[in-house]
Structure 1
Amino acid sequence: MRLAGRITDWNDEKGFGFVVPNGGGDRAFVHVNEFQRGSRRPVSGDLISYLPTTDQRGRLKARQIRHAGQKVAVPRSPSRVPRAALGIAALALCTALALFRVIPFLLLVAIAGLSLLAYLMYWVDKSAAQRGGQRTPESTLHLVSLAGGWPGALVAQQHFRHKTIKQSFQSVFWGTVFLNVLAVTWLVKSGVAAELARSLSG
């Protein structure tokens, strides 16, 4: 059964606060990700309706949150971008290029390592979002993708269903993918990548 209440102790920087039900009762944890699509940014004192649930530790948590008077949004359509398949295909292509000596083996190691790092960072950020903990800055996620970890980021986005809806994030993310591919292509064709690999292995 849905309840109505007011938001209190809202921390806009971290995107969470609490809701005290009308008529009294235990307050529930509120996270910005639980507001339906198209909702404005909440502030302390906002009247909302929500579905009370409990997390794994038995703590009250508000789900399916709407501002007072807000219409029910049409459910989000699942993303049609096969992110995981694209990420795995990119890693497979890099592996093939390294085996045929089109790109240095060290470049493959760097891309694979950064992809693993990106995957772990998305996992940590998703976990922090669910429990209201310290988030990983979006700029840090983009930096790892720009450096070459975008295949792992693609896999993580689909696996954890994280950062796939926010259009501003996705626009910057795909920009980092384009710039990284452009940079790697130049490094390989110019011979800089091979020269760097020789100097590091020597």
Structure 2
Amino acid sequence: MERLGKLVEWNDARGYGFIVAVDAPGQRYFLHVHEYRRMGRRPEVGELLRFVVERQPDGRWRAVDVARAVSVAHRQVRATTGRRHDRASPLTWLPPVLVVLLGALLAWAAWHGLLPAPLPMGLLAINAVTFVAYWIDKRAAQAQARRTPEATLHLLELLGGWPAAWLAQRVLRHKSRKENYRLVFLAAAFVNLAAMALFLIGEPIAA
């Protein structure tokens, strides 16, 4: 859930500071410059910011996906520009291409009798678990409760749950803005797809 706050402290040399939420003036949230949508400028003490709260591994809260609280018209222009940039990014258009490749690989293996019977059920199971894990983490983020570690989500993706992870990112709008996270997700998808291709195609080649 997006919140509104004021930047009350900023160390520009070290690139971090603290935000105080408007609805909770006694709570300070850590802000790193990497989480600030710069728009060609640096954070300034006293400015109003929109942000999402996320729990750090040490249990403390931090502000992520931080941007200036600007006019509605400015927000609409920025949102439109952001959507265009997102659609042009390989992080957006490549995952569905990989899903199609996975479907084609499984169909080819089934047609040639190379698809092990437990594999489709195993893929369904791991993808169901992955989607539920994303949903639980989304609910936890909204409730500011204990989060699912990102390493756990990436492990599920690597084990074959990456199609459901991509679907959850689009449907639940969760983990869909963090570029670093999406890069690791895409790497997990590539590794899993390559391993499955070697497993399914490698047997007839070896024979």
How does the TM-score come out when normalised to structure 2? Answer: 0.57
**Structure-to-structure mapping, 1:85-100, within 5 angstroms:** 89=100, 92-93=103-104, 96-97=107-108, 99-100=110-111
Runs of 4+ in 1 over 6 A off after TM superposition: 28-32
State the AA in 1 paired with 2:149: P
Residues 190, 49 of structure 1: alpha-carbon distance in 2 compared, 3 angstrom cutoff: same
Distance in 1 (CA, whole Å) between partners of 2:201 and 2:105 is: 15
Q: 1:162 aligns with which of 162, 166, 174?
A: 174
For 1:57, the equivalent position in structure 2 comes to none
Structure holding more helix per residue: 2
Deviations for 1:39-74, whole angstroms, at most 9, x for unmatched residues?
Answer: 99x9xxx645257xxxxxxxxxxxx8638xxxx773
Residues 120, 113 of structure 1: alpha-carbon distance in 2 compared, 3 angstrom cutoff: same
Residues 49, 125 of structure 1: alpha-carbon distance in 2 compared, 3 angstrom cutoff: same
Give the superposed CA RMSD.
Answer: 4.1
Aligned residues: 158
How does the TM-score come out when normalised to structure 1? Answer: 0.58
Distance in 2 (CA, whole Å) between partners of 1:91 and 1:26 is: 47
Residues 181, 91 of structure 1: alpha-carbon distance in 2 compared, 3 angstrom cutoff: closer
Distance in 1 (CA, whole Å) between partners of 2:161 and 2:49 is: 38
Distance in 2 (CA, whole Å) between partners of 1:7 and 1:134 is: 26
Deviations for 1:126-184, whole angstroms, at most 9, x for unmatched residues?
Answer: 12112211111111111111111111111111001122221111111111111111111
Rg larger for? 1
Unaligned runs of 5+ in 2: 10-17, 51-65
Deviates more, 1:149-158 or 1:183-192: 183-192
State the AA in 2 paired with 1:137: P
